Amino acid sequence: MIKRSVVLGCGSYLPQRLVTNAELANRIDTSDEWIVQRTGIRQRHIAADGEFTSHLAINAARAALRSADIDPQSIELIVLATSTPDNTFPATAVAVQNGLGITHGAAFDLQAVCSGFVFALATADNFLRTGAYKRALVIGAETFSRILDWNDRGTCVLFGDGAGALVLEAQDLPGTSADRGVLTTHLRSDGRHKSKLYVDGGPSSTQTVGHLRMEGREVFKHAVGMITDVIVDAFNATSLTAEDINWFVPHQANKRIIDASAHKLHIAPEKVVLTVDRHGNTSAASIPLALDVAVKDGRIKKGDLVLLEAMGGGFTWGSALVRW
Ligand SMILES: CC(C)(COP(=O)(O)OP(=O)(O)OC[C@H]1O[C@@H](n2cnc3c(N)ncnc32)[C@H](O)[C@@H]1OP(=O)(O)O)[C@@H](O)C(=O)NCCC(=O)NCCS
């Protein structure tokens, strides 16, 4: 028997305010047609004034705890992936811990931009598999609207706000690929690509929060290769194949990147969970938001094999295979 991190529940939260492409086209030189054609995005949710990343995260965490049907006090570890924390410090995870009324165990943030959720899942999985903790909350939560340059049409149309969370529990299982739980995770980073996707501010450099800057075409050029490489790593580590996958839940940045990755990996289009049209790119929140949509609408069921992947600023990229 080995320890596996099994998903007990998931939840998500989106701010109420919906911003359509048409509304953006009233403010900047863009069009619904351009945005849909290049990205697949039709709308995004934007946090209200005074609504912080921690607020979105607490709502998502509460929903995940409800779906897991467990006592929040049994959570010993909270790993929160975000690039848009409430404050430079303390970690937003600590605000979430406090919001849930938990005073034991550990809570910390993790920063890997759009790959943050996969990095956080891998981190929590490692703590659970070593027996350090029994139950964990893994959260991706973002208010990217706060770091966008709303005059830069090349970036501001792409992103949205939101949060998603999973509850994981360490369970002793046989150790085969038929086990439920996180079967394998693969993380990569390469800082040579920093200038292609970054925020032009920060506490140590400018003492400001800064704005997101991106060479979109350069990011696009690298994305599919990096995503497919790290998915092949996951297949090789488990002897599972694209045929075995029930659901592909990629980071939701751009429909064209998702379609090209699925095509290259021979993953059938009907297995791809797509939410970028409704949520835009919510960075670290996009995967748990998409998971929650597909669980709630009955697509992802217990025992299904789910493939996750993400790629983002750094560059960072990663994959995970999870049997639900
Ligand atoms: C951003 C992205 C959609 C741009 O699409 P693209 O086809 O590469 O477009 P380009 O940046 O080359 O720009 C093409 C033209 O559209 C224009 N354009 C850019 N944004 C626009 C917008 N929102 N509305 C209308 N026109 C726009 C550009 O100014 C350019 O005009 P020009 O030819 O007159 O100079 C695309 O590069 C992309 O999706 N990249 C990956 C981004 C990503 O996923 N990032 C997150 C990773 S986690």
pLDDT digits (tens, 9 = 90+) for 279-296: 999 999 999 999 999 999
Task: Write the residue with the smallest CA distance to atom 46 of ligand 1.
Answer: 253
pLDDT at 104: 98
194, 135: one domain: no
280, 242: one domain: yes
Q: Answer yes or no: is the C-beta of 282 below 6 A from any ligand 1 atom.
A: no
For residue range 75-109, list pLDDT tens digits in order.
999 999 999 999 999 999 999 999 999 999 999 99
134, 210: one domain: no
Q: Answer yes or no: is the C-beta of 319 below 6 A from any ligand 1 atom.
A: no
> Mean of the pLDDT values across residues 224-253?
97
Q: Domain containing 41: what range?
A: 2-173
Mean pLDDT, the chain, rounded, equals 98
pLDDT at 206: 98
* Residue in 220, 222, 255 to alter for ligand 1 test, most ligand atoms within 8 A of Cβ: 220
* CATH of residue 54: 3.40.47.10
Out of 173, 197, 219, pick the residue that ends a domain: 173
Helix, strand, or coil (residue 222): helix
pLDDT at 284: 98
Residue 80 Cα to ligand 1 midpoint, Å, equals 30
How many whole angstroms separate alpha carbon 191 and alpha carbon 74? 37
Residue 254 annotated among the catalytic residues of the structure: no
Kindly state the helix (H) or strand (E) to which residue 197 belongs, with its residue range: strand 197-199
124, 259: one domain: no
158, 10: one domain: yes
161, 304: one domain: no
pLDDT at 269: 97
The two beta strands, 17-20 and 43-46, are antiparallel
Q: Is residue 113 exposed (0-12), middle (13-18) or buried (19+ Cβ within 10 Å)?
A: buried
Degrees to nearest 5, angle at CA 143 with 142 and 149: 130
For residue range 2-40, list pLDDT tens digits in order.
999 999 999 999 999 999 999 999 999 999 999 999 999
Percentage of residues of the chain with pLDDT beyond 70: 100
Q: How confident is the model at residue 223 (pLDDT cuts 50, 70, 90)?
A: very high
86, 32: one domain: yes
> Mean of the pLDDT values across residues 195-214?
98
How many helices (H) does the chain have, and how many strands (E)?
10, 13
Domain count within the chain: 2
Q: How confident is the model at residue 309 (pLDDT cuts 50, 70, 90)?
A: very high
237, 186: one domain: yes
Query: Within a 10 A sphere around the Cβ of 90, how many other Cβ atoms?
Result: 14
Q: Of 213, 196, 109, 120, which Cα lies nearest the Cα of 158?
A: 213
Is the pTM value of this prediction over 0.95? Answer: yes
pLDDT at 181: 98
Instruction: Dig out the tokens for 184 from the structure.
Output: 């394998």
57, 191: one domain: no
158, 289: one domain: no
